[in-house]
């Protein structure tokens, strides 16, 4: 494995195993320079979303980097405001990104109406506006409901919270059997996390002479899970990409398995429609 390593999705499109996440990277110089730094240092995948309010900056960072568009894998996501009109949502994301396609378009959460929205994503993909489609924060029953609603495409990806405190092993195995690649969000444990200071992690990291962040990213990738760590700091963007020079032994993979406590920090996807509207991030348009 190296930074160019890719996994083949169930529609034949290949997707990098490691990318840069930009949730909470402020629209403007912060997100733009993080994207540029990542691409200049070998990253080839960027994960954004409408609700991150930084798609314009992501597009600018991509162009600043001078890396050819076709070599970069751009992911964005449909927010709930556009579940009634995914085409509008995607077209507006493309306008903000300054691109004529994205490499992956995801339903951000199983908001009400996700089944109907999915059928629209299938059309958008067949028209070439996105090269692959998937879901995020979907549990097994949500994926089954897609099928029951008449989906003819199996999602290429399910992006879920996944780190040493929340392994999602059952979901990952279920998805693997159906050729759905799992992408780990919050792979470092998320903002303000304690994963990286957990003595069980720091001890193993010392043993492998890597940082805790490198250890936990490598662990997920060795499980076949793609990762999208976020940082806006150049030194960490580089650190998080240097995960290819070591390999966890099977014994240490087993040690990692013992750390799981099914501790999800994000909302329960089953309750997302009950989440008070005022607690979602506010949409702020970029300049």
Ligand X SMILES: NC(=O)c1ccc[n+]([C@@H]2O[C@H](COP(=O)([O-])OP(=O)(O)OC[C@H]3O[C@@H](n4cnc5c(N)ncnc54)[C@H](OP(=O)(O)O)[C@@H]3O)[C@@H](O)[C@H]2O)c1
Instruction: Give contact residues for ligand X (rule: CB under 6 A).
Output: 21-23, 47, 108, 136-137, 159, 185-191, 196, 213, 228-233, 236, 239-240, 266
- Min. distance of Cβ 34 from ligand X in angstroms? 8
Q: State which residue, 23 or 244, has the beta carbon closest to ligand X.
A: 23
Q: Residue 263 burial by CB count (10 A; 0-12/13-18/19+): exposed, middle or buried?
A: middle
What secondary structure does DSSP assign to 203-271, as a single string?
HHHHHHTS-HHHHHHHHHHHTT-EE--B--SHHHHHHHH--SS----HHHHHHHHHH------SPPGGG
For residue 270, the minimal CB distance to ligand X (Å) is 14
Q: Which of 52, 101, 165, 185 is catalytic?
A: 52
Distance between CA atoms of residues 220 and 165, nearest Å: 12
Min dist. Cβ of residue 177 to ligand X (A): 22
CB contact set of 6 (below 8 Å; sequence gap of 6+): 14, 15, 16, 17
Between 39 and 188, CB nearer to ligand X: 188
Can you say whether the dihedral through the CA atoms of 246, 247, 248, 249 is positive or negative? negative
Residue 221 main-chain phi, psi, to 5 deg: -65, -35
CB of 77 to ligand X, least distance (A): 6
Q: How far is the CB of 170 from ligand X (least distance, A)?
A: 19
- Which residue, 5 or 193, has its beta carbon nearer to ligand X? 193
The sign of the CA dihedral 167, 281, 241, 159 is positive
Relative to beta strand 104-107, strand 20-21 is unpaired
For ligand X, the closer CB: 9 or 231: 231
Query: Could you tell me which of 30, 28, 35 has the C-alpha nearest to residue 76?
Result: 35
Q: Give the Cα separation of 78 and 122 in Å (integer).
A: 13
CB of 168 to ligand X, least distance (A): 13
Q: Quote the CA–CA distance of 121 and 78 in Å, as a whole number.
A: 10
Query: In the complex with ligand X, which residue's Cβ is closer, 104 or 150?
Result: 104
Count CB-CB contacts under 10 A for residue 100. 10
Other CB atoms within 10 A of residue 197 CB = 10
Given the complex with ligand X, which of 99 and 201 has the nearer CB atom?
201
Catalytic status, residue 208: no
Q: Which residues are catalytic?
A: 52
């Amino acid at each position: 494995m190296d930074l160019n390593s890719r996994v083949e999705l169930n529609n034949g499109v290949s997707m990098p195993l490691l990318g840069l996440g930009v949730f909470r990277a402020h629209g403007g110089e912060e997100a733009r320079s993080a994207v540029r730094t990542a691409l200049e240092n070998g990253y080839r995948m960027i994960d954004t979303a409408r609700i991150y309010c930084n798609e314009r900056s992501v597009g600018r960072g991509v162009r600043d980097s001078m890396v050819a568009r076709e070599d970069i894998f751009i992911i964005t996501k449909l927010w709930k405001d556009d579940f009634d009109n995914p085409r509008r949502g995607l077209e507006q994301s493309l306008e903000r990104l300054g691109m004529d396609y994205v490499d992956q378009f995801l339903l951000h959460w199983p908001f009400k109406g996700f089944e109907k929205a999915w059928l629209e994503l299938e059309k958008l993909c067949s028209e070439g506006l996105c090269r692959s489609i998937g879901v995020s924060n979907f549990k097994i029953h949500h994926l089954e409901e897609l099928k029951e609603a008449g989906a003819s495409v199996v999602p290429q990806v399910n992006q879920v919270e996944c780190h040493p405190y929340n392994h999602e092993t059952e979901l990952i195995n279920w998805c693997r059997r159906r050729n759905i690649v799992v992408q780990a969000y919050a792979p470092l444990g998320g903002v303000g996390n304690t994963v990286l200071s957990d003595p069980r992690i720091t001890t193993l990291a010392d043993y492998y002479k890597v940082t805790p962040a490198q250890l936990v990213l490598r662990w997920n990738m060795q499980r076949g899970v793609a990762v999208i760590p976020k940082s806006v700091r150049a030194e960490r963007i580089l650190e998080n990409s240097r995960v290819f020079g070591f390999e966890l032994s099977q014994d240490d993979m087993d040690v990692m398995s013992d750390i799981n406590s099914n501790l999800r920090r994000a909302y329960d996807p089953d309750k997302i429609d009950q989440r008070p509207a005022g607690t979602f991030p506010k949409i702020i348009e970029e300049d």
